[in-house]
Amino acid sequence: MKKISLYFSLFSLLSCSKQTFTACDQSSIYSHATFPVGVAVDVSELKTNSQYRSIVINQFNSITAENAFKFLHVQPDINRYDWEETDYLVDFAKQYNKRLHGHTLVWHSQLPSWIYGFTGNWKELLRDHITQEVGRYKQDIFSWDVVNEAFNEDGTLRSTIWLDHLGVDYIRLAFEFAHTANLEAKLFYNDYNLESNPAKLKGVIDFLTHLKASGIQIDGIGMQMHITNTFPSINQVAEASKTIADAGFLVHFSEMDVYMNTADGKTFLSKSELQEQANRYASVFTTYSQLNEKNQFGITIWGVSDADSWIPAGLPLLFDYSYEQKPAYCACKSLK
């Protein structure tokens, strides 16, 4: 998660404090949906920020760790696993009855520095990491983003450290190892721009369908849904999600936020911009609700408030810098 400067944070808080929104009822967002509604969480914020923690507890019934389960954090040294934050999230999810989605086992980013000089057996490295992580939580975590962002925009495989050392087989191996470590878990592929790029979507679906036909368990596809107030069209979102469902996969809107195209340095949205953002959230939630229920895994919002978003300049989330609900929050509770 990207952090903004202290000055910008304080200025934003002061600016947003001048805004007043018409509040809707305080019932949870998920209670208005027939599918899980989740949020990406940061462990340090959960531990230290009471407003943040309260929103997570009261508004969502599913959580995804922004960073805690990624390779860099789980295996910072070649012979050492660090389970402090992941254990905390498992305990938190149990305490508050939240579904915990594991994100992510294999990615080309956020890797520890030691891996770039690794000269051992890469297949065994991958097997051990996935087996340790998925196996440790096999009683607690029943869904994982196994592979993240493995495709280019033209639908070909991205050049990554995993592709370099294991070839195309690394994706198959990752899903095999995850399935072996937890036979009950739902296993996902996760990527961005699938809702707006037919070539990339086709490349992903063709590749995963081929793996499934060869006996590899792949249950779903995460559409990250980092969208703006104007792009892609809601028809594109609907068509892409239906294409995934028709191919036999669960559909997860896995990292949703709505970036507002505002002037540089702007720290709050106008009334009309707030309504545009609310309409956008409402249309996405409604579109998702129209999928066949058997293909619905849920929607996950990528962050709690604009203050802790990975793209704070876009003011993309349901709560403002003061953790006050925005019109978009209410819009997610008005499915049609």
Architecture of domain 6-331 in CATH?
Alpha-Beta Barrel (3.20)
What is the token pair recorded at 3? 């952090």
In the chain, the amino acid numbered 290 is Q
Q: What is the pLDDT of residues 167-219, one digit of tens each?
A: 999 999 999 999 999 999 999 999 999 999 999 999 999 999 999 999 999 99
pLDDT band at 317 (very low <50, low <70, confident <90, very high): very high
Active site residues: 149, 255
Strands 143-148 and 186-191, by their bridges, are parallel
pTM of the model: 0.92
In the chain, % of residues over pLDDT 90: 87
pLDDT at res. 263: 62
Sequence-separated (6 or more) residues with CB below 8 Å from residue 40? 63, 64, 65, 66, 103, 255, 300, 301, 302, 303
Residue 174, burial from CB neighbour count under 10 angstroms (0-12, 13-18, 19+): buried
Min mean pLDDT across 146-160, 187-201, 301-315 is at 301-315
User: Count H helices, E strands: the chain?
Assistant: 12, 9
pLDDT at res. 10: 34
Average confidence score pLDDT of the chain: 92
Q: What is the pLDDT of residues 254-286, one digit of tens each?
A: 999 999 976 666 678 889 999 999 999 999 999
pLDDT at res. 15: 38
Sequence-separated (6 or more) residues with CB below 8 Å from residue 121? none
Q: What is the pLDDT of residues 11-48, one digit of tens each?
A: 333 333 345 555 787 889 999 999 999 999 999 999 99
Q: Are 123 and 166 in contact (CB under 8 A)?
A: yes
Beta strands in the chain (DSSP E): 37-41, 62-65, 99-106, 143-148, 186-191, 220-223, 226-228, 250-259, 296-301
What is the token pair recorded at 274? 């707030």
